[in-house]
Amino acid sequence: MKDVFAIVPTHQRIGLFACVLLAIRDPEFIEGWGRLRGITLAKSIPKTPIDFLIHKATGYDKVVDAKTEATFCQLVEDVKDVVWDRLPAEVQADLCRDTAKKIVGKAVNGSP
């Protein structure tokens, strides 16, 4: 499984990350994606990248195994190939800029 974020230009990574988050939070997208890939996401599997990273880092439980990690990598790769790469450059730039503004705004305001 390739590291999708490594092949995306640095200035676009935050936009791709936001795109992946939007896809993960869309139940219809996830259901359709799962059907196409033949994957059923169990309720115990973290539904956001941050939950995934926290589970993996803390060893909270054992759902973050090689299969789960491969599933997440496949999801990110598919979102990049099917959604991100097909967005017009202006939309990609807007998503990158808007996401960066939100992150910077939260950091400046001290919001979690």
Residue 109 lies in a domain: no
Is 74 strand, coil or helix?
helix
Token digits for 5? 């974020």
Flag whether pLDDT at 70 surpasses 70.
yes
Cβ–Cβ under 8 Å, residues 30 and 23:
yes
State how many domains the chain has.
1
Query: CA torsion sign, 47 to 49 to 50 to 56?
Result: positive
Looking at per-residue pLDDT, the higher value among 86 and 43 belongs to: 86
Residue 102 lies in a domain: no
Looking at per-residue pLDDT, the higher value among 41 and 53 belongs to: 53
Residue 35 lies in a domain: yes
Residue 36 lies in a domain: yes
State the Cα–Cα distance between residues 71 and 51, nearest whole angstrom: 14
Residue 103 lies in a domain: no
Residue 24 lies in a domain: yes
Please, which pLDDT band fits residue 60 given cuts at 50, 70 and 90? low
Flag whether pLDDT at 90 surpasses 80.
yes
Residue 1 lies in a domain: no
Q: Which domain holds residue 35?
A: 8-97
